[in-house]
Chain A
Amino acid sequence: MNWTAIWVTFKLASLTAGVLLVVGLPIAYWLTFSKWRWKFIVESVVALPLVLPPTVLGFYILVAIGPHSPVGRFYSDVVGHPLPFTFEGLLLASILYSLPFAVQPFAAAFEQVDRRLIEASWTLGVSKLATFFKLIVPLSMAGLVTGAVLSFAHTLGEFGVVLMVGGNIEGETRTVSIDIYDEVQALNYAGAAKTALLLLAVSYGVLLLVYAMNRKVWAVWPQK
């Protein structure tokens, strides 16, 4: 098995889930609680990666961070090398690609929180931010775990975006799914089978956790 690819993949998936937990929470909070009438426009943009072919998304990200765009030029001026075909570029693409997998469960969980509890918290002098951490987050825990886990699992299996933005650089942007593809191309079915099985097992385990978390009756460990 290609352990380097496995390591790159897990690093990518963990960082993506981690960043989305930080970036996704304010977006989900805004989507849930904003009364702006054009909110649906932002909602649609967030959901776009769900329906867009990964190659299309990857293409636009590649163009957006490439040396001909202001963003890409700024990055290479500051860091010293261009963003495409690096791990950082790949991470950025993964975050955008998995955005709905984090934001939608977060927003669904926030939606479930009784507004009257939030109002009660405000009248007790607790700021909106503190209310978010003291009240909304504990009440939305299952949704937050679901979002983090789903974006992790989704990143594990991404292929098209990785190929477009990351390329296939060993130790840098070569992920498990690309490794499997390469093995099959080289007719090394045994090698592909082992890696594929690992990916299958991990994905299944992750989904088990998600569904167990979201059951009314706690299936993994007894609810306190």
Chain B
Amino acid sequence: MAAEMIIDMTKTFSGRAPIQARLRYEVEASTVLILFGPSGSGKTTILRSVAGLEWPEEGRIQFLSRIWLETKSGIRVSPQDRQIGYMPQDYALFPTYSVAGNIAYGLGGLAPHDRSKRVAEVVELFQLQGFEATKPRELSGGQQQRVALARAVAPRPQLLLLDEPLSALDAPTRLQLRGELRTLLKQLALPSIIVTHDWAEALTLGDVMAVMGEGQVHQVGKPHEVFSCPADANVARIVGVETVVQGQVIENANGLATVAVNGTRLKGLGSAAIGAAVYVCIRAEDVVVEQAGSGRTSARNHLMGRVSGIAPQGVMVQVTIDCGFPLTATITRGAVEDLGLVPGASVIAAIKAGAVHLVPRSS
């Protein structure tokens, strides 16, 4: 049997749609599962159930060969016995303990000498030298996040559970820590589950992604595949980024990067180095469709292409344009009629450089 994580659970909170999640995926040494969805979709409840902090009324949670919950046979493993590292959204650092005290908190089973050795190791790994005696409230948000992660990792857990690990940070810090977190997770060689509603985080950090909505798992797959090929309209609405394609940075000047995607050149904002592999992410409502041969605009990207699909979605129409890669645009019904769009028609897709998001691809 392959090493697997199996989550099959039902949990009801009064006044809310029941959470009925079924999910199973293969776990390797450092597989990162992303639980992706809007707030209230049940992703945090699933994470907490895996942590043993929430008890589903019914179901089964199995990590590798260990069964943590099986309501049928009455198996309920306590959070203490699951050997997990759990980081809640607001970090929950212990205010009465110093940074070193927080990190050492879960190391009660070690002899004092081994404990201080492990604390020193972890402090170094998370670059917290000099802060050992500092109380958590005196730290910046980014430092608190590192301490929380260090505390979760110190007892050498088998599985790391992170609830919105970056959402409490300001935007520049978040961007910086996103990349660091990916490197760190690979370095730790520790399977993890990360809850997020940020698609850039999902693309950067995830190996597998489960899209959640209204308490159900809608789709499970590789993050860029889920983004570019949502299983249904529901998933497409939840992920909100219709075009995700792989590209390579070929030029970068003053923060404006040129990316080659399957022969087509696109300009986007980003500081990725030349040669770097990136995901190019474009939201469908940011794409303007023009008739071929019309005038100049301020948009930096004008992609020649052919309409390959037209799918009405309520008042809007989703138009797929083949311009070297499939690009999705959302426009009104009126625009489709005005432009006389039919499959096969030649069009130009205009996208502002600011709407072309470049997300570094994990190696």
Binding site for B on A (CB under 8 A): 114, 116-117, 119-127, 130, 134-135, 138-139
In the complex, whether B155 has a CB less than 8 A from a CB of chain A is yes
In the complex, whether B18 has a CB less than 8 A from a CB of chain A is no
* B92 touches which of A114, A126, A130 (Cβ 8 Å): A114
Closest to A128 in B: B80
Contact yes or no, A123 B105, CB < 8 A: no
In the complex, whether B191 has a CB less than 8 A from a CB of chain A is no
In the complex, whether B59 has a CB less than 8 A from a CB of chain A is no
**With A and B bound together, what is the CA distance between A121 and B90 in angstroms?**
14
Contact yes or no, B92 A124, CB < 8 A: no
**With A and B bound together, what is the CA distance between A114 and B96 in angstroms?**
13
Contact yes or no, A120 B88, CB < 8 A: yes
* A123 touches which of B84, B90, B94, B96 (Cβ 8 Å): B84
**With A and B bound together, what is the CA distance between A126 and B104 in angstroms?**
12
**With A and B bound together, what is the CA distance between A117 and B92 in angstroms?**
5
Q: Taking each of B88, B109, B161, which has the highest tally of chain A beta carbons within 10 Å of its own beta carbon?
A: B88
In the complex, whether B79 has a CB less than 8 A from a CB of chain A is yes
Contact yes or no, A123 B79, CB < 8 A: yes
**With A and B bound together, what is the CA distance between A146 and B280 in angstroms?**
60
Contact yes or no, B53 A123, CB < 8 A: yes
Chain B, interface size category, equals 20 to 34
Contact yes or no, B79 A130, CB < 8 A: no
**With A and B bound together, what is the CA distance between A105 and B51 in angstroms?**
32
CB-defined contacts of B127 to chain A, threshold 8 Å: none
- Can you list 24 pairs linking A and B with CB atoms under 8 Å apart? A116-B92, A117-B94, A119-B51, A119-B79, A120-B151, A121-B94, A121-B105, A122-B52, A122-B53, A122-B78, A122-B79, A123-B52, A123-B53, A123-B80, A123-B84, A123-B85, A123-B86, A123-B161, A124-B105, A124-B106, A125-B83, A125-B106, A125-B155, A135-B96
Closest to A118 in B: B92
Closest to A123 in B: B86
Contact yes or no, B53 A119, CB < 8 A: yes
In the complex, whether B295 has a CB less than 8 A from a CB of chain A is no
Contact yes or no, A116 B105, CB < 8 A: no
CB-defined contacts of B81 to chain A, threshold 8 Å: 125
CB-defined contacts of B112 to chain A, threshold 8 Å: none
In the complex, whether B275 has a CB less than 8 A from a CB of chain A is no
In the complex, whether B95 has a CB less than 8 A from a CB of chain A is yes
Contact yes or no, B92 A134, CB < 8 A: no
Binding site for A on B (CB under 8 A): 51-53, 78-86, 88, 90, 92, 94-96, 105-106, 108-109, 151-152, 155, 161
Main secondary structure, interface of A, reads helix
**With A and B bound together, what is the CA distance between A99 and B90 in angstroms?**
36
**With A and B bound together, what is the CA distance between A6 and B152 in angstroms?**
54
Known pairs A119-B53, A134-B105; A125 contacts B92 (CB<8 A): no
**With A and B bound together, what is the CA distance between A134 and B105 in angstroms?**
9
CB-defined contacts of B52 to chain A, threshold 8 Å: 122-123
**With A and B bound together, what is the CA distance between A125 and B77 in angstroms?**
12
Contact yes or no, A116 B106, CB < 8 A: no
Q: Taking each of A119, A130, A135, which has the highest tally of chain B beta carbons within 10 Å of its own beta carbon?
A: A119
Smallest CB separation, A126 vs chain B (Å): 6
CB-defined contacts of B161 to chain A, threshold 8 Å: 123
CB-defined contacts of A134 to chain B, threshold 8 Å: 105
CB-defined contacts of A122 to chain B, threshold 8 Å: 52-53, 78-80
Smallest CB separation, A139 vs chain B (Å): 6
Smallest CB separation, A33 vs chain B (Å): 14
Smallest CB separation, A216 vs chain B (Å): 14
Known pairs A135-B94, A139-B95, A139-B96; A125 contacts B86 (CB<8 A): no
**With A and B bound together, what is the CA distance between A132 and B15 in angstroms?**
32
Smallest CB separation, A215 vs chain B (Å): 18
Contact yes or no, B106 A138, CB < 8 A: no
CB-defined contacts of B86 to chain A, threshold 8 Å: 119-120, 123
Q: Taking each of B82, B94, B106, B152, which has the highest tally of chain A beta carbons within 10 Å of its own beta carbon?
A: B94
CB-defined contacts of A130 to chain B, threshold 8 Å: 108
In the A-B complex, list the 6 residue pairs whose CB atoms are closest, starting with the nearest: A124-B106, A123-B86, A120-B92, A116-B92, A122-B79, A138-B96
**With A and B bound together, what is the CA distance between A44 and B66 in angstroms?**
44
**With A and B bound together, what is the CA distance between A59 and B84 in angstroms?**
55
CB-defined contacts of A119 to chain B, threshold 8 Å: 51, 53, 79, 86, 88, 92
CB-defined contacts of B53 to chain A, threshold 8 Å: 119, 122-123
**With A and B bound together, what is the CA distance between A127 and B108 in angstroms?**
11
CB-defined contacts of B94 to chain A, threshold 8 Å: 117, 120-121, 135
CB-defined contacts of B105 to chain A, threshold 8 Å: 121, 124, 126, 134
Smallest CB separation, B66 vs chain A (Å): 15
CB-defined contacts of A120 to chain B, threshold 8 Å: 86, 88, 92, 94, 151
**With A and B bound together, what is the CA distance between A117 and B96 in angstroms?**
11
**With A and B bound together, what is the CA distance between A126 and B53 in angstroms?**
14
CB-defined contacts of A114 to chain B, threshold 8 Å: 92
Contact yes or no, A127 B80, CB < 8 A: yes
Closest to B108 in A: A126
**With A and B bound together, what is the CA distance between A105 and B201 in angstroms?**
45
**With A and B bound together, what is the CA distance between A126 and B94 in angstroms?**
13
